[in-house]
Amino acid sequence: MKAAVAVENQNRPQIDDRPLPEPAAGEVAIDLKAAALNHRDLWILSGNYPGLKYPVVLGSDGAGVIGAVGEGVSEEWIGQEVIIYPAAHWGEREVAQGPDFEILGLPEDGTFVERICLPLRRTAPKPDHLDWAQAAALPLAGLTAFRALFRRANLLAGEKLLVTGIGGGVAQFGLQFGLAAGAEVWVTSSNPAKIEAAVAAGAAGGVNYRDDDWPAQLKQATGGGVDVALDGAAGPGFAGLIEAARPGARIVNYGGTGGALPQMSPRPLFWNQLSLLGSTMGSSTDFADLQGFVRQHQLVPVVDRTFPLDQVAAALDHMDGGAQTGKIVLMP
């Protein structure tokens, strides 16, 4: 079978031919129908990820059909359509993952393959209303947005939510989930067309984070600032989030695409009673609740483009260029 493998000192994976794996006891073999990219894949390829190990099959997200079962797993599972929980070993505490927490696709071989074997408990039924690409797009990014908004920031109906960098995969879920929860959603983007598309999807408005005065623009447009900000960029723009926050707001960060946090005065933080929160993916409880939320609101992940598995390099180039809106998906 084909596998997209990250190797040392190459910024794009190579396509290897590997034997079809057999499920061990307690495992199922999933014949993948789709596998989604995450920004993490680019970090790994550029050598900017903790715990690097080569060679490794990339990919954290996947959806497919159970094609074989290992010892101790009922044959009734064969033919079931599933999505994959992209993490392992969350640990005992819901408040944060434990030290053994891992994400599929480093160090464990990931989903950019035709078949993967995983413990049955790391699968969940594919939501019926989603096609294969949409189903594969959901797990990692959907889980990240879900936990950040509802477990960490406790977003409430009627609140004003800012989602930064709306072209991003997690950000698109932030927009959808915020709207479904009854929030008034605002966005930032470097691309006016992406802001227009977000407004067409239900956002109240947006500003361009490349404008120096974007926090002031946002504060004015929202009539005093936002209650919650969902941010995957950090970087110098983080100071703007604090400026655009209404007193009492919660700012939840899940990523650092824009680089290190800026130096800033602590005064706006303490004076305005702000909460700064961090969030990473989610527990298996969060994953179950995410699926319930997506089914209840019949939400459909935004798929930007699909590529055949052997065009993984082109798919990664597309993500690196930042022109996407939503998820980029490989079809094995």
Ligand X SMILES: NC(=O)c1ccc[n+]([C@@H]2O[C@H](COP(=O)([O-])OP(=O)(O)OC[C@H]3O[C@@H](n4cnc5c(N)ncnc54)[C@H](OP(=O)(O)O)[C@@H]3O)[C@@H](O)[C@H]2O)c1
Nearer to ligand X, 129 or 210 (CB): 210
189 binds ligand X (CB under 6 A): yes
110 binds ligand X (CB under 6 A): no
User: What torsion, rounded to 10 degrees, do the Cα atoms 49, 54, 60, 65 define?
Assistant: 180
Collapsed DSSP state (helix, strand, coil) of residue 300? coil
111 binds ligand X (CB under 6 A): no
Of 127, 178, 240, 258, the one binding ligand X (CB under 6 A) is 258
Kindly state the tokens that stand for 235.
Answer: 């970087």
Piece of the chain touching ligand X by CB under 6 A; list 17-25, 175-183, 230-238, 268-276: 230-238
177 binds ligand X (CB under 6 A): no
319 binds ligand X (CB under 6 A): yes
194 binds ligand X (CB under 6 A): yes
Of 27, 32, 39, 122, the one binding ligand X (CB under 6 A) is 39
Nearer to ligand X, 30 or 203 (CB): 203
C-beta separation of 281 from 143 below 8 A: yes
Residue 255's nearest CA partner among 323, 164, 187, 319 is 164
- CB 244, min distance to ligand X, A: 13
C-beta separation of 239 from 219 below 8 A: no
45 binds ligand X (CB under 6 A): no
Is the Cα dihedral 172, 175, 179, 182 positive or negative? positive
206 binds ligand X (CB under 6 A): no
- CB 144, min distance to ligand X, A: 4
What is the C-alpha separation between 332 and 242, in angstroms, rounded? 43
What is the C-alpha separation between 248 and 260, in angstroms, rounded? 24
Piece of the chain touching ligand X by CB under 6 A; list 120-128, 140-148, 218-226, 289-297: 140-148
280 binds ligand X (CB under 6 A): yes
What is the C-alpha separation between 2 and 79, in angstroms, rounded? 21
- CB 176, min distance to ligand X, A: 13
Kindly report the CA angle at 330 between 328 and 332, in degrees rounded to 5? Answer: 170
C-beta separation of 119 from 26 below 8 A: yes
Is the Cα dihedral 22, 28, 32, 38 positive or negative? negative
Q: Under rule CB under 6 A, how many of the chain's residues touch ligand X?
A: 34
Of 23, 110, 139, 167, the one binding ligand X (CB under 6 A) is 167
Nearer to ligand X, 192 or 308 (CB): 192
Of 97, 134, 144, 306, the one binding ligand X (CB under 6 A) is 144
Collapsed DSSP state (helix, strand, coil) of residue 194? helix
C-beta separation of 100 from 1 below 8 A: no
Contact residues: ligand X, CB under 6 A: 38-40, 43, 140-141, 144, 164-171, 188-191, 194, 209, 232-233, 235, 237, 254-258, 280-281, 319, 322
